Amino acid sequence: RPRVLSGIQPTADSFHLGNYLGALRNWVQLQETHDAYYMVVDLHAITAGHDPAVLRQRTRVGAAQLLALGLDPERCTLFVQSQVPEHAQLAWVLGCITGFGEASRMTQFKDKSVKQGADRSSVGLFTYPILQAADILLYQANLVPVGEDQRQHLELTRDLAQRFTSLFGPAFTVPEPYILKGTAKITDLQDPTAKMSKSASTPAGIIELLDPPNVSAKKIKSAVTDTGREIIFDQANKPGISNLLTIYSALTGRTVDDLVAAYDGKGYGDLKKDLAEVVSEFVAPIQEATRGYLADPAQLDKQLAVGAEKARAVAAATLRTVYERVGFLAGV
């Protein structure tokens, strides 16, 4: 079976619809056909400042949501990044073959460091994509399901894998991104040209999976829409309505064309009202299952420990090859 790997940061109290439609939905599907490794990336979550107790809680809530969305520990390996020390170890080696300029060109780093101020942003934020490359290469992943915003990090990962091979010999599989066009960039409800983002959007711009239904309904009803009244899919001129149609279509399995035909002659308010209903039906069972997993944190931690042990066996084998190739003495 080909391998798939992906990760998500526990940097908010809930994952959002962009995370789900851009990535997590594909994680669930790919566990059926692939040897799948999925993780909550808590090492990445400390690059921009954090509170320890909040991080610990968000890591558990994150894992619980992934289980609630349908990740099945019998079908995939679900783990927490910091419980597999090889991630940090490989990141060091990869950092030593990454150019300073190359790392400086990562647009997510540029965006975030501009926002935080260059002097305030951490070295960890700068080396973040190198750690991400280590995450992927440790598992010899063939495929990495992510949203559009991760494409550049995947390119860097591929470059580093190939560079390592030409410097020291083969150790890695060169991975391919798995980015599904229609839902690769879900946008902010309040600013429909920007992506829906845990760090950059206002609360009103994000539909969180754990939002109570009346809260998400309110957000959808006050979503910024476009001038005019026609419900048509036109991302350039009607980004707001197009985003709502994308979400609606993805959650129901109805095509955008079908929705456009069904709303012919109706108004934005009708579409929003129905979408609020669709969202609330979609999140209800997820919220209930998430609460269920969180009700027994000891059991959840145990499950994650089992995942980490399985992940570690694969990661350790890759790291051994890497250490040997770069000329370190054999491990004791």
185 is catalytic: no
Structure tokens at 30: 């790919």
Q: Mention every residue, 6+ apart, whose C-beta is less than 8 A from residue 264.
A: 231
310 is catalytic: no
Residue 119 labeled ligand binder: no
Give whichever of 129 and 171 is closer to ligand TYM, judged by the CB atom: 129
Strand order in the sheet with 76-80: 76-80, 35-40, 3-8, 143-145, 176-178
Residue 195 labeled ligand binder: yes
Q: How far is the CB of 312 from ligand TYM (least distance, A)?
A: 16
Q: Interface residues with ligand TYM (CB under 6 A)?
A: 5-9, 18-19, 22-23, 41, 44, 132, 135-136, 144, 146-147, 149-150, 184-186, 195-197
Residue 148 labeled ligand binder: yes
Give whichever of 63 and 263 is closer to ligand TYM, judged by the CB atom: 63
Q: How far is the CB of 332 from ligand TYM (least distance, A)?
A: 30
Residue 108 labeled ligand binder: no
Nearest to 88 by CA among 34, 150, 138, 155: 138
Q: How far is the CB of 204 from ligand TYM (least distance, A)?
A: 15
What three-state secondary structure class fits 32? coil
Give whichever of 35 and 263 is closer to ligand TYM, judged by the CB atom: 35
Among 110, 115, 198, 273, the active-site one is 198
Q: What is the 3-state secondary structure (H, E, C) of 175-201?
A: CEEECCHHHCCCECCCCCCCECCCCCC
Residue 149 labeled ligand binder: yes
Q: How far is the CB of 157 from ligand TYM (least distance, A)?
A: 8
112 is catalytic: yes
Q: Mention every residue, 6+ apart, whose C-beta is less than 8 A from residue 184.
A: 22, 147, 148
Give yes or no for a contact between 73 and 64, defined as CB atoms under 8 angstroms apart. no
What is the rounded distance in angstroms from the CA atom of residue 31 to the CA atom of residue 24? 11
Q: How far is the CB of 159 from ligand TYM (least distance, A)?
A: 15
Give whichever of 195 and 263 is closer to ligand TYM, judged by the CB atom: 195
Which residue is associated with the tokens 């390996």? 77
Cross-strand pairs, 50: none
Give whichever of 22 and 240 is closer to ligand TYM, judged by the CB atom: 22
Give yes or no for a contact between 213 and 281, defined as CB atoms under 8 angstroms apart. no
Among 185, 195, 238, 272, the active-site one is 195
What is the rounded distance in angstroms from the CA atom of residue 1 to the CA atom of residue 38? 16
15: Cα separation from own chain's centroid: 9
Residue 302 labeled ligand binder: no
- Residues making up the annotated binding site for L-tryptophan are 135
Annotated binding residues for ATP, as ranges? Answer: 9-11, 18-19, 147-149, 186, 195-199
What residue numbers does the annotated binding site cover? 9-11, 18-19, 135, 147-149, 186, 195-199
- Which residues carry out catalysis? 112, 195, 198
